Amino acid sequence: MEGSGVIGRRAPVPCSSRDTSPAGGAMPRPTGAEPSRSTPEVPERSRKRPKDPECSPALPGALRRSPAPPVPLPNNPLPLPSNPLSLPNNPQYPPVPPAPPVQLTRDTRCPNTALYDLSPPIPLLAPITPSSPPIPSPFPAAPPPCRPPPSSLPTPPALPAPPPVGQRPRGAVGRCGAMWGAMGRAGLRALSGGGAPNSGRTLEGKVALVTAATDGIGLAVAQRLGAAGARVLLSSRRQHNVDAAVQKLRAQGLEVSGVVCHVGQPRDRQRLVQTALDTYGAIDILVSNAAVNPVMGSTLEVEEAAWEKIFQVNVTAAAMLVKLVVPHMEKRGGGAVVLVTSVAGFMPFPALGPYSVSKTALLGLVKVLAPELRARGVRINAVAPGLIQTRFSAALWENEATKEQLMSAMGIDRLGTPSDVAEVVSFLCSPAASYVVGETMVVAGGTPSRL
């Protein structure tokens, strides 16, 4: 279609004419046809045209339009025409014989047990009965891995009959029980400082100074230290209380003296120390037990004067007494200091806020003084009593309902006694506690006692 501006389909040109064209295969433009402006001129070589298999003079005729034959592989163990999994027909993989069936027999080496091994020839499903014939095992003979029959065990000797109620056991059992009981009691006496003369007197020749020692915990401590062999100087604020305590302890054969002392007053503290030096010539032990609690109720309602009094007696006086006695302990080659704090220092008592805070301060005082005093040969520790039945704590246990409520809150089943605390104080003052420094031992019957 000439003059339409569209290039028409041309007749096929023989391969020989295209290959021998002077332009290298370029096809001549038809006469009178103008190239379209929107269609660029594309070179003949870059135009796509279908491949003609007849136009491949370089390939032989045998390779035209024919599939490639399979390439044989030498010694191919799995030929593709056959089943690739036919291993039994492959000479390189001979067939594996089937495994024999698993069989069980009864282990005749141990007739007392129900052990079985994997020995032929009883089939797996055959019932195993006591009448089954024994079959020799292929394993070498070995000692029987079981206990001998019960008939060959020796018969244990018959235990002696228990003695009647109220009668002390005799024979070997009675002697062993008495021996261990005596050893246990002797050990407790050695730790606590009690016992007969020249037996467990761990504080023999020591001089002990105990404050607030005419009642309750202080009196029990003075009694225990005196029983351990120490010479005791006790103190209190009232003369008649001092005289009564001294008379009571001397009646027990203890070496005790007394002096009036208000530990909150500096002059009284100095007089206490000087009296001990004048009476016994030395000071080896200090037990600071004095404490006050003038108020109960809301902590925010406590007046400043009450705070000052509580800390003056409970904290400051204890620190000042330690300061006074340590130089005299150094002259003796060492000593022991015990501060009586309270479990309230760990778990504050209700309505006893300032008192509880002062006892917490004593815990810190022990930790602060421990390294300083250790360098001077003096050990300092503390004891923290729980709810002890004394006149000082009567407001907490005299009322039965209040006592039960407080015991439930503290997790205890009974009230403590002054002697419970005195035993621990005696231990801390004795050589048995020579490796205990800067610690607070809680005597509270199980009351939670750690910050």
pTM here?
0.58
Give bridge partners of residue 337 from the DSSP assignment: 286, 380
Closest CA to 259 of 270, 250, 291, 248: 270
pLDDT for residue 146 = 52
Catalytic residue among 93, 280, 355, 435: 355
312 vs 348: CA distance, rounded Å? 19
Residue 93 bears catalytic tag: no
By CB atoms closer than 10 A (0-12, 13-18, 19+), residue 60 is: exposed
- Give the right CATH number for 201-443 from 3.40.50.2000, 3.40.50.720, 3.30.499.10, 2.40.160.20: 3.40.50.720
pLDDT for residue 161 = 64
Side-chain-side CA neighbours of 238 within 13 Å: the count stands at 6
Residue numbers of the chain with a pLDDT score lower than 70: 1-97, 99-200, 451
pLDDT for residue 403 = 82
Q: Are 16 and 38 in contact (CB under 8 A)?
A: no
pLDDT for residue 449 = 81
pLDDT for residue 340 = 97
Closest CA to 276 of 191, 213, 195: 213
pLDDT for residue 116 = 45
pLDDT for residue 282 = 96
pLDDT for residue 94 = 62
How much of the chain is in helix, strand and coil states, percent to nearest 5? Answer: 35, 10, 55
Give the angle subtended at the CA of 179 by the CAs of 173 and 181, to the nearest 5°: 100
pLDDT for residue 180 = 43
pLDDT for residue 402 = 81
Do you know the residue count of the chain? 451
Amino acid type, 396: L
